[in-house]
Amino acid sequence: MALIEVGMPLPGVFLFFVFLKIMLQLLTDHMFRIQYFFLSFASQLFHMPNTAGFLRRLAGFRLVFLALVIFLVLNGALFALLSLYPPLLEWLWLSADRPWGILTSAFSHVDPEHILSNVEGFLLAAAFFILINVNNPPRVKRRLSRKFFLLSFLAGIGANLLEYPFALANPEISSFGASGIVYGALGIVFANALQQLPVHLRVIRKWFGTKKGGISRLNKWLREVFPSLLAFSYALSILLMVFFDISGFLNVAPEVDIFAHGVGFLIGFLGFTVWQLLEGEPGKRQRRRLRRGS
């Protein structure tokens, strides 16, 4: 692909940063209301009458919600800007003569289908992460949320950083999109689900071994068994795709940057796993707490 030198349109950049500042200020001012609305809706969806209690269980995931807000705002703002001025993409993408694309390309989209698929993927990864960890103690939720927040964006930027030498070797290469961040988040959730899998299997086995029925059994299923089933099915699905349909998992197709997909996933998976190990034995302490709560 031949690259065309594109100058930076100063009025457009100024308006973009003004718009971004206003959006960030509004989201900061109304963060609690936004979080309360979505969690209240989730509470009704799961048929839990005690909304306040349900919100308290999800209070430790504020950094996950912040990651969602940052992801949506940056990708949405740049998509709007690129819709108004498409040639700007050549200034934002990652290529041999655009080293800043290591950062900017991770939030750049011009195709509605492309940005919608990445937004959907990141939303699902965040939802899985919350549901899998919803029964953890508050301190554990906050610690895990911090890892999700940092490693998700690090995976996308890290994948671009590792891809840049290939762009230098082949100046025709250029790439853009948030897929590295999305696959990084998927890798984090996969590592998290594998780490807690023994606990989730124990919860599932215990629930199927009980004979008690009625509303209390349904509530227990929603509170404890559903997150465990989700963790088990997610881990199993990723394993099956990696071993039996790796091309489908990486979305191998013409003009698709599978390097960012694979490397982003590995950074998220390995980063979360190593971070957990460096903290000592958080997994064992976490499993003991979950056993007492089940």
Residue-wise DSSP of 253-290: -TT--HHHHHHHHHHHHHHHHHHHHHTSSHHHHHHHHH
**Least confident piece of the model among 34-43, 98-107, 239-248, 252-261:** 34-43
pLDDT given at position 9: 42
Nearest-angstrom CA–CA distance, 92 and 78: 10
pLDDT given at position 219: 59
**Least confident piece of the model among 70-79, 132-141, 157-166, 276-285:** 276-285
The whole domain housing 268 covers 10-293
Given a contact cutoff of 8 angstroms between Cβ atoms, the answer to whether 66 and 152 are in contact is no
DSSP helix/strand/coil, 3: coil
* Structural domain count of the chain: 1
Q: Please, what sign has the CA dihedral across residues 30, 67, 229, 260?
A: positive
Please choose, from the candidates 93, 84, 58, the residue with its C-alpha nearest in 3D space to the C-alpha of residue 177. 93
91 occurs within a structural domain: yes
| Span 233-250, average pLDDT | 91
The residue that leads in pLDDT, 61 or 36, is 61
For 5-16, the pLDDT digits (tens) are 333 344 444 444
pLDDT given at position 253: 86
pLDDT given at position 215: 44
The residue that leads in pLDDT, 266 or 228, is 266
Encoded tokens for 60 = 């430790």
Note if the pTM is more than 0.85. Answer: no
- Percent of residues, the chain, with pLDDT higher than 90: 48
| Residue 109, amino acid | H
5 occurs within a structural domain: no
CB neighbour class for 25 (10 Å; exposed up to 12, middle 13-18, buried from 19): exposed
Supply φ then ψ for residue 175, to 5 degrees.
-150, 155
Q: Residue 232's domain is classified under what CATH number?
A: 1.20.1540.10
Exposed e or buried b for every residue in 115-130, given b needs 16+ CB within 10 A? Answer: bebbbebbeebbebbb
1 occurs within a structural domain: no
Q: Give the mean pLDDT of the chain.
A: 79
Nearest-angstrom CA–CA distance, 118 and 115: 5
> In the structure, what pLDDT confidence band is assigned to residue 279 with cuts at 50, 70 and 90?
confident
Q: Give alpha helix (H) positions in 210-225.
A: 215-220
Nearest-angstrom CA–CA distance, 75 and 108: 6
Nearest-angstrom CA–CA distance, 293 and 39: 22
174 occurs within a structural domain: yes
| Span 60-70, average pLDDT | 94
Which of 17-26, 97-106, 278-287 is most confident? 97-106
Q: Is the pLDDT confidence value at 266 over 90?
A: yes
Given a contact cutoff of 8 angstroms between Cβ atoms, the answer to whether 85 and 9 are in contact is yes
Q: Is the pLDDT confidence value at 283 over 90?
A: no
Category of 94 on φ-ψ map: left (φ > 0), alpha (ψ -120 to 50) or beta: beta
Please choose, from the candidates 158, 152, 148, the residue with its C-alpha nearest in 3D space to the C-alpha of residue 183. 152
Given a contact cutoff of 8 angstroms between Cβ atoms, the answer to whether 88 and 5 are in contact is no
**Least confident piece of the model among 176-190, 226-240, 255-269:** 226-240
2 occurs within a structural domain: no
Our CA angle for 116, 122, 125, nearest 5°, is: 140
**Least confident piece of the model among 57-61, 173-177, 248-252:** 57-61
| Span 47-66, average pLDDT | 72
For 183-225, the pLDDT digits (tens) are 999 999 999 999 988 888 888 777 776 655 544 555 565 667 7
> In the structure, what pLDDT confidence band is assigned to residue 263 with cuts at 50, 70 and 90?
very high
237 occurs within a structural domain: yes
For 103-113, the pLDDT digits (tens) are 999 999 988 99
Q: Is the pLDDT confidence value at 19 over 60?
A: no
